Chains A and B, each alone.
Chain A
Amino acid sequence: MLITRRSLLVGAAVLATAAGCSNGGGAAPSSAASSAAAGGAGGDVGVFTWWADGSEKEGLDALIALFKTKYPKNTFVNLAVAGGSGSNAKAKLASDLANKNPPDSFQGHAGAELTDYIDNEQIEPVDDIMKALGGASVFPQTLLDLITVGGHVYGVPCDIHRANMVWTNSGLLSKAGITAPPATVAAWIADLQKVKASGVATPLSIGGTWTQTELFESVLAANLGSSAYTQLFSKGGKWDAAGVKQSITDYATILGYANTVSDGDDWPAATVMAADGKAAYNLMGDWALAEFTSKGLTWGKEYSSFPLTGNGEQLFGFLADAFTLPVGAKNAGGAKDWLNLVGGAEGQLAFNLKKGSIPPRTDVPSSSFGEYQQKTMTSFKNDKIVPSIAHGAAVSLAWSSEINTAMSAFYQSRNADALQSALVAAHAKYAA
């Protein structure tokens, strides 16, 4: 009974996909989303995410509503698993994939984090979907380079976040006499000292292990510069270089200005410290904006932010979410409808407005977004893009786990040599 129903579904999906292809072949890129079989492939479309709360959930809900109106024949099945940064969700997903019971599409951090799934032959390339969506004519080439593995794109990007932002409390900074954002890590350390001297016990607020990794990667990128930093993740990456050593020393100095935390602490508590004036600085991705907004504060007035930079170049700490096409998805046709939606201009507008991120597509009108998001969109066009370690853009899941563990150990031991050799060992083990 079950088998016949499933094979019927698959049959329908194949037919629908074939129909979609024949229609969409010569059509203009922008109409790719609507050129699939009218109303969608039909059947259940199970989509797996870790967007179960807050602005992330609002974004997903906006996408679901749009999916229902555009593809009324499909039934959306929300397979979201709660848990920050997807730590719980990834464990559930790993067992579903190992049991050959994949969802029709799942969320992943775009970039190197998808390599585990690619190695295990668990996801399929989505080159044809990306091409139908407009390819390089609507997605920036820098982004396509970052998400291309072995000549193929394995995920449709739906949002972009910036990781290397330092959020500042304007009141505390003016009290310390700091007027301009620092141009280098060394200048930032000097500012931290000024804030400390002005009577703030904890100039910088940090959270648990992964927030420390995010801080370290930002220091590393600012010190090394974009090209040397990006080189670290290739096969010939030199983690034993003097620049890395200097960054570890700087990072340890910066930690000296921070509050005491435990490994499991979450990020909002740290961001709230900066909002409440208990800390002058907090380094966090741009999702921190929602924490300030929810307190009724205005960017540029009570608080502000600057990206951590160095070497005279502006850096954009990059991370993005993408949706995949799993091997053996029960409703591949429905999954493609979903990918067309999240990769299309309409879907990206609705989703990113709610989530606070920026759309990867360049043809989404920026005028609909808030001031901060507009600034981020400009930065993404002009700045040097550096992939994030903590958020899976630069390294595979295993590699980033290894780095996180080393950061946890370093927080207790403050042993720079041990951290550097752990980083070198992780590179030797995982660099492809």
Chain B
Amino acid sequence: MTGLRRWGAGLVFLLPSILLVGIFVYGFIGKNILTSFDQVVTKSGKVRAPGGLENYATLIGDPRYQHALWNLLVLTVVFVVGTMFFGLLWAVLLERSVKGEGVFRSIFLFPMAVSFVAAGVVWRWLLSPATGEGAVGLNQLFQYMGMPWLQSSWWSAGQFNMAAMAIPAIWQLSGYVMALFLSGFRGISLDQREAARVDGATEWKLYRHVLFPQLSPVALSALIIVGHMSMKMFDLIYSIAGPNSYTAEVPATLMWAQMFQLSDTTGAAVNATLLLVIVAVVVVPYLVYTNRSEKR
């Protein structure tokens, strides 16, 4: 009786969210996985999807999908390394109580307030691949600055083209990572710095051995958040490269094409399931780790 009273109140409060999450997240994930195993035969008798695990073999074996995966890998590596680097750099600079810290913090954070789509329209122009006489955007800027050798085809050509697609994403999210690190720095009490300085530690040693080690949970969170955003990234790429870009295709944009252009619902579901697995491989160990360290 007392048990029910203790659990009952909590359960009543939680029930709506359990139901909503159960239906709209896990229910739909389940439905999506079921769809991914469908067999599809058109009225005219053509087999669009063989059904079962063969659906997965078909997609994974498709060179278009492999190309999209490669693009995703390049994008994610450059994007994660870039945001972590700039986020940490800015946080270290601002953390030293510079004049006008609030102004700089806002400047670095503002890009995050811009939607990916709006930013994408501007970056499409900035990252125009035209060089020489017809150049616009960054390429034209480099000419004005007397550095024409810096002109690039950006994301429009080359095997590592998606590294350029990471530039706008880094611009947008470095400020967010900076904020995470900044709050991490603020969480370390001033006594520790003073104690280290009294013991004769140089500034480098102070950061290396006292402050950075305490930031590793923050760094891990930032890594996971930025990493999974990169893997799901759709809007930025779609608004920069348009609906039919093979060059800049990643699994998320391919999924859109499968769903809305190729009317291949099954292929889109397979793609979505694989994307979920890829993200889960990164996120689940992190959740397990934080769960364990919180219990400790």
B-contacting residues of A (Cβ < 8 Å)?
A: 87, 90-91, 94, 116, 119-120, 201-202, 208-210, 259-265, 273, 278, 397-398, 401-402, 404-409, 411-412, 429, 432
> Which of A209, A261, A409 is the one whose CB lies under 8 Å from B129?
A261
Q: How far is the CA of A397 from the CA of B257 in the complex (A)?
A: 11
B134 touches A259 (CB 8 A): yes
Measured between beta carbons, the chain B residues less than 8 angstroms from A209 are 242, 244-245
Shortest A414–chain B CB gap in Å is 11
Q: Is B263 an interface residue (CB 8 A)?
A: yes
B124 touches A265 (CB 8 A): yes
A-contacting residues of B (Cβ < 8 Å)?
A: 42-44, 46, 64, 124, 127-134, 153-157, 239-249, 256-257, 259-264
> Which of A201, A404, A429 is the one whose CB lies under 8 Å from B133?
A201
Q: With CB as the reference atom, state the residue of chain A lying closest to B43.
A: A119
A408 touches B129 (CB 8 A): no
Measured between beta carbons, the chain B residues less than 8 angstroms from A273 are 134
> Which of B131, B132, B248 is the one whose CB lies under 8 Å from A263?
B248
State whether A405 and B129 are in contact (beta carbons under 8 Å apart), knowing that A262-B154, A264-B241, A412-B157 are contacts in the complex: no
Most chain A CB within 10 A, of B155, B246, B264, is at B246
A262 touches B129 (CB 8 A): yes
Q: How far is the CA of A356 from the CA of B52 in the complex (A)?
A: 51
Measured between beta carbons, the chain B residues less than 8 angstroms from A265 are 124, 128, 242
Measured between beta carbons, the chain B residues less than 8 angstroms from A405 are 64, 244, 246, 249, 257
A259 touches B244 (CB 8 A): no
Q: With CB as the reference atom, state the residue of chain B lying closest to A120.
A: B263
State whether A210 and B244 are in contact (beta carbons under 8 Å apart), knowing that A264-B124, A401-B257 are contacts in the complex: yes
A262 touches B241 (CB 8 A): yes
Q: How far is the CA of A116 from the CA of B240 in the complex (A)?
A: 28
State whether A263 and B245 are in contact (beta carbons under 8 Å apart), knowing that A398-B262, A398-B263 are contacts in the complex: yes
Q: With CB as the reference atom, state the residue of chain B lying closest to A208.
A: B242
6 tightest A-B contacts by CB? Answer: A264-B242, A401-B261, A263-B245, A404-B244, A408-B246, A409-B246
Q: How far is the CA of A278 from the CA of B134 in the complex (A)?
A: 8
State whether A408 and B244 are in contact (beta carbons under 8 Å apart), knowing that A90-B260, A262-B124, A398-B262 are contacts in the complex: yes
State whether A409 and B260 are in contact (beta carbons under 8 Å apart), knowing that A260-B130, A260-B153, A261-B130 are contacts in the complex: no
Q: How far is the CA of A409 from the CA of B247 in the complex (A)?
A: 6
Q: How far is the CA of A91 from the CA of B240 in the complex (A)?
A: 18
Measured between beta carbons, the chain B residues less than 8 angstroms from A90 are 260-261
Shortest A424–chain B CB gap in Å is 15
19 contacts between A and B (CB under 8 A): A94-B263, A259-B130, A259-B134, A260-B153, A262-B129, A262-B155, A262-B241, A263-B244, A264-B240, A264-B242, A265-B128, A398-B261, A398-B262, A398-B263, A398-B264, A405-B64, A405-B244, A405-B249, A405-B257
Q: How far is the CA of A209 from the CA of B124 in the complex (A)?
A: 14
A260 touches B244 (CB 8 A): no
Q: How far is the CA of A151 from the CA of B151 in the complex (A)?
A: 56
Q: A278-B134, A398-B262 provided; 11 other pairs, C-beta below 8 A?
A: A91-B260, A202-B133, A261-B128, A262-B154, A263-B247, A264-B239, A264-B240, A401-B257, A401-B262, A405-B257, A412-B157
A412 touches B156 (CB 8 A): yes
Measured between beta carbons, the chain B residues less than 8 angstroms from A202 are 133-134
Q: How far is the CA of A328 from the CA of B124 in the complex (A)?
A: 40
Shortest A265–chain B CB gap in Å is 7
Shortest A317–chain B CB gap in Å is 19
Measured between beta carbons, the chain B residues less than 8 angstroms from A432 are 44
A262 touches B128 (CB 8 A): yes
A264 touches B262 (CB 8 A): no
Shortest B230–chain A CB gap in Å is 20
Measured between beta carbons, the chain B residues less than 8 angstroms from A398 are 261-264
A264 touches B261 (CB 8 A): no
Measured between beta carbons, the chain A residues less than 8 angstroms from B64 are 405
Q: How far is the CA of A37 from the CA of B286 in the complex (A)?
A: 67
Q: With CB as the reference atom, state the residue of chain A lying closest to B244.
A: A404
A260 touches B131 (CB 8 A): yes
Measured between beta carbons, the chain B residues less than 8 angstroms from A406 are 246
Most chain B CB within 10 A, of A264, A397, A409, A411, is at A264
> Which of B134, B241, B247 is the one whose CB lies under 8 Å from A260?
B134
Measured between beta carbons, the chain A residues less than 8 angstroms from B129 are 260-262
Q: How far is the CA of A273 from the CA of B257 in the complex (A)?
A: 31
Q: With CB as the reference atom, state the residue of chain B lying closest to A201.
A: B133
Measured between beta carbons, the chain A residues less than 8 angstroms from B257 are 401, 405
Measured between beta carbons, the chain A residues less than 8 angstroms from B127 are 262
Measured between beta carbons, the chain A residues less than 8 angstroms from B259 are 94
State whether A408 and B157 are in contact (beta carbons under 8 Å apart), knowing that A397-B261, A398-B261 are contacts in the complex: no
> Which of A87, A278, A402, A407 is the one whose CB lies under 8 Å from B262?
A402
Q: How far is the CA of A405 from the CA of B247 in the complex (A)?
A: 9
Q: How far is the CA of A432 from the CA of B42 in the complex (A)?
A: 11
State whether A119 and B124 are in contact (beta carbons under 8 Å apart), knowing that A210-B244, A260-B134, A398-B261 are contacts in the complex: no
Measured between beta carbons, the chain A residues less than 8 angstroms from B156 are 260-263, 412
Measured between beta carbons, the chain B residues less than 8 angstroms from A119 are 42-43
Measured between beta carbons, the chain A residues less than 8 angstroms from B157 are 412
Measured between beta carbons, the chain B residues less than 8 angstroms from A201 are 132-134
Measured between beta carbons, the chain B residues less than 8 angstroms from A263 are 156, 241-242, 244-248
Measured between beta carbons, the chain B residues less than 8 angstroms from A412 are 156-157, 246-247
Shortest A378–chain B CB gap in Å is 34
Q: With CB as the reference atom, state the residue of chain B lying closest to A85.
A: B243
Q: How far is the CA of A408 from the CA of B244 in the complex (A)?
A: 7
Shortest A392–chain B CB gap in Å is 11
Q: How far is the CA of A389 from the CA of B254 in the complex (A)?
A: 21
A401 touches B130 (CB 8 A): no
Q: With CB as the reference atom, state the residue of chain A lying closest to B153.
A: A260
Q: With CB as the reference atom, state the residue of chain A lying closest to B243.
A: A87
Measured between beta carbons, the chain A residues less than 8 angstroms from B247 are 263, 408-409, 411-412
Measured between beta carbons, the chain B residues less than 8 angstroms from A429 are 46
Shortest A411–chain B CB gap in Å is 8
Shortest A402–chain B CB gap in Å is 7
Q: With CB as the reference atom, state the residue of chain A lying closest to B130.
A: A260
Q: With CB as the reference atom, state the residue of chain A lying closest to B127.
A: A262
Q: How far is the CA of A29 from the CA of B264 in the complex (A)?
A: 42
Shortest A96–chain B CB gap in Å is 12
Q: How far is the CA of A406 from the CA of B156 in the complex (A)?
A: 15
Q: With CB as the reference atom, state the residue of chain A lying closest to B131.
A: A260
Q: With CB as the reference atom, state the residue of chain B lying closest to A119.
A: B43
Shortest B267–chain A CB gap in Å is 11
Measured between beta carbons, the chain A residues less than 8 angstroms from B239 are 264
Q: How far is the CA of A411 from the CA of B134 in the complex (A)?
A: 18
Measured between beta carbons, the chain A residues less than 8 angstroms from B248 are 263
